[in-house]
Amino acid sequence: MALPSSIVVREVGARDGLQAEAPITVEQRLELIDALLVAGVTHIEVAAFVSPKAVPAMADAEIVVAGLGCPEGVVRAALVPNRRGAEMALAAGVDELTVTISASAVYNERNVRMTIDDSIDSIAATCALAADVAVPVDAVVSCAFGSPYEGDIVPEFVSLLAARLREVGCAAITLADTTGMCTPRRLDAVLAVTGTDIGLHLHETRGTGLVNAYAGLLAGVTRFDTSVGGLGGSPFAAGAAGNLATEELVALCDDLGIATGIGIDALIEAALLAEQLLGHAVPSRVAHAGPRSRRA
């Protein structure tokens, strides 16, 4: 088992993490993003260009992007749900677009009221727009390891969907464990057909974020979406849970000798800042216990 020497962490706390929270101000969102950049984050999802009525916490995306400016060496990603969102995000000048589609037809229908084919068409339109300004598009495939509606998703379907998304112009594919159905065995089964040139976007619905990340590292995956503090979903409602916490992945990588470029102490400070801004505890354990080097 050859572990990778380094990985890229795409920090999604400012988007996936904050979107289910009560809105905080643009200044507070920028403060959190800044703390993450100080910690060494170089790839970060900063906003979603979605309807502020549907997702109040993501309002004023263009103001967030403008306020952030263009920090050197930082890839600023934004989620776009459709052509209009893509136009706005590109006008704002982001470096990467993320789009979503589900490997579960029922989930896709319920989440965005489109068939998978319709979602592919929509993503193709976004890719065409982005290509004009040479901005890469990353397609995040939800329910890639199972769906609460259909159960297991055939790995070959995930692989075909990924290939189709690349055909319509996606530069990268990220496989998301939206409802906590990934396991090391499922992950290995999917990677066996998709290959390891994918990102992993893991959730803690069943407490399996870190074990799946470890299985991914053992298999050779080098791109991970994580959220500061483990924010995301609705971490304090029974049965729901946030993303894998960035500091828990970084702590694991630090111990395994895998470079992330992120400093654990400054990252924990960012997680504690998130607690302060949101007014409640974050679910991350490492944020509270500290790295294993902490002494009594």
Indicate the residue among 90 and 228 with the shorter CB distance to its own copies. Answer: 228
Evaluate whether 194 touches 216 at the Cβ level (below 8 Å): no
**Phi, psi of 121, rounded to the nearest 5 degrees:** -60, -45
Closest by alpha carbon to 98, among 209, 212, 7, 15?
15
CA pair distance 209, 228, nearest whole angstrom? 13
Question: How many CB atoms lie under 10 A from the CB of residue 117?
Answer: 11
Nearer Cβ to its own copies, position 60 or 109?
A: 109
User: Which residue lies nearer to its own copies by CB, 139 or 282?
Assistant: 282
Which CB, 26 or 281, lies closer to its own copies?
281
In the complex, minimum distance from the CB of residue 263 to its own copies, in angstroms, rounded to a whole number:
17
Closest CB 175 distance from its own copies, rounded Å: 16
Angle (CA) 164 110 182, round 5°: 65
Task: Name the one residue in this structure whose structure tokens are 């995930």.
Answer: 158
Shortest CB 135 distance to its own copies, Å: 35
Quick one: 199 or 230, whose CB is closer to its own copies? 230
> How many other C-beta atoms lie within 10 A of the C-beta of residue 92?
19
Give the binding site for its own copies (CB under 8 A): 1, 146, 148-149, 151, 180-181, 183-186, 204-208, 210-211, 213-215, 238-241, 245, 248, 251-252, 255-257, 281, 284-286, 288-290, 292-296
Strands (DSSP E) along the chain, which ranges?
Answer: 8-11, 43-48, 75-79, 96-102, 137-142, 172-176, 199-201, 223-226
Q: Which of 65, 251 has the CB closer to its own copies?
A: 251
CB of residue 159 to its own copies, shortest distance in Å: 21
Residue 112: partners with Cβ closer than 8 Å, 6 or more residues away = 81, 100, 119
Nearest-approach distance from CB 145 to its own copies, in angstroms: 9
Nearer to its own copies, 4 or 169 (CB): 4
Q: What is the DSSP string of 56-68?
A: GGG--HHHHHHHH
